[in-house]
Each structure stands twice: as C-alpha cells, then as structure tokens.
Structure 1
C-alpha cells in the first residue's frame, strides 16, 4: 500500500521550531550537505536554518502555504533535525501535533499499513 505523506500539505513544523544542527552538516565542512548560504550561526558549534531562530519561525527552505501545499527546496540536503522529525501520520509525535495546532490544523492519525 502506498501513501502520500501528510507533510506535503502541512509544513507546520517548518514554521514552528528552530532548526539547529552541528556546523559539520553544512556545505562549508568537508562532508557537509546543507547549503551554507541558507544557514546562520546560532552557537559556536551550531548553525540553524535561516528564519527559524525568530519569535515566529519559518524556515527559508519551506515553499508553499502551510496546511495547503508545501515542499522543502532542499529536501535531499535537509539537516538532521528535519530528517529525524517523525510526521504525525508516520507515528506518534507530540511536537508534530503541537506545530499543527499552532497553525490551526488537526492532529494527524498514524497510518497503519496493511500487507
């Protein structure tokens, strides 16, 4: 059974939290992959995605309208916090539900795949 991720219509997490990560993930480092030009310094050893260290965060890489249709313009090169974030339809994640509520969206119900 194939399903489409709710993330493609949500994007609430990308506009709710600071996305901070080790500087070695950025392209300025030898093995980095996150575009450095989309990051800013946050701590001596941490960077964050531009736009996420604000009172009303919104990642610079987020495209589209939250709750309608969204996408990440650096999806294949996104930082580890984004890779590790579990969408509410993929499992239980209270941070997903909290971000969705912040943007007036209902919590997601985890999808159970049937073999």
Structure 2
C-alpha cells in the first residue's frame, strides 16, 4: 500500500470537502462561530455550508491534487473533527479513487 505523509495529506486531498452536500453540516457551533462564517457560504436552510453539487463552496483547488479551505480558521466543527485516516476520510477518499490513508 502507498505510504502517505499525514502532515500534508489534507492539502493534497480535499475529498471530505467534496463528498456530499450534506456533509459540511453545522452541529455544535455557537452563534458567534456561525456568525464568523461568510453568509454567502452558508446554505439556504442555515444548516451547513453551501455546496456546488457535492463540493463545499469554501473549497479551493482540485480534489486529489492541491486544495485549501477558504475559511479554514472559522470552518465548522465537522470539518475540524474529520482526521486523516478516519472512517469519514476513507469513505470520502474512496469516492474519488484516492488511496486510503493508513494512520497507524
């Protein structure tokens, strides 16, 4: 299996940000945290990030090549908790045909 550098894998991936329009949901964010997210990037239901198809509108770059979050410092909790090699990461990477990360 291909070895992947965990320190930079998210920036060369972005699969979790393009997995599903239902993925970047708001859950435990405070009102102040939600207010910090630009309104144009919040969906019409105010329940999560606005998406273009399945892709979060805050995602910059090309999935599987080089990506970045346009609101990294104020991203939702679900984005903060998705970790390289966890079940959600593996599921998203499979969707895009990327190798699963072995974190241990």
**Is the TM value for this pair above 0.5?**
yes
Q: Please name the residue that 2:34 is paired with.
A: 26
TM-score (norm 2): 0.79
Assess if the C-alpha contact under 8 Å between 1:40 and 1:48 holds in 2: yes
Greater RCO, 1 or 2 (C-alpha within 8 Å, sep 6+)? 2
Which runs of 4 or more aligned residues in structure 1 lie more than 4 Å from their structure 2 counterparts after TM superposition?
Answer: none
Unaligned runs of 5+ residues in structure 1 are 28-32
Shift of 1:39: 0.1
Shift of 1:15: 0.3
Q: 1:8 aligns with which of 7, 11, 29?
A: 11
Q: After superposition, where does 1:1-115 map in structure 2 within 5 Å?
A: 4-17=7-20, 18=22, 19-22=24-27, 24=31, 25-27=33-35, 33-42=36-45, 47-51=47-51, 56-88=53-85, 93-110=86-103
Identify the structure with the greater strand proportion: 1
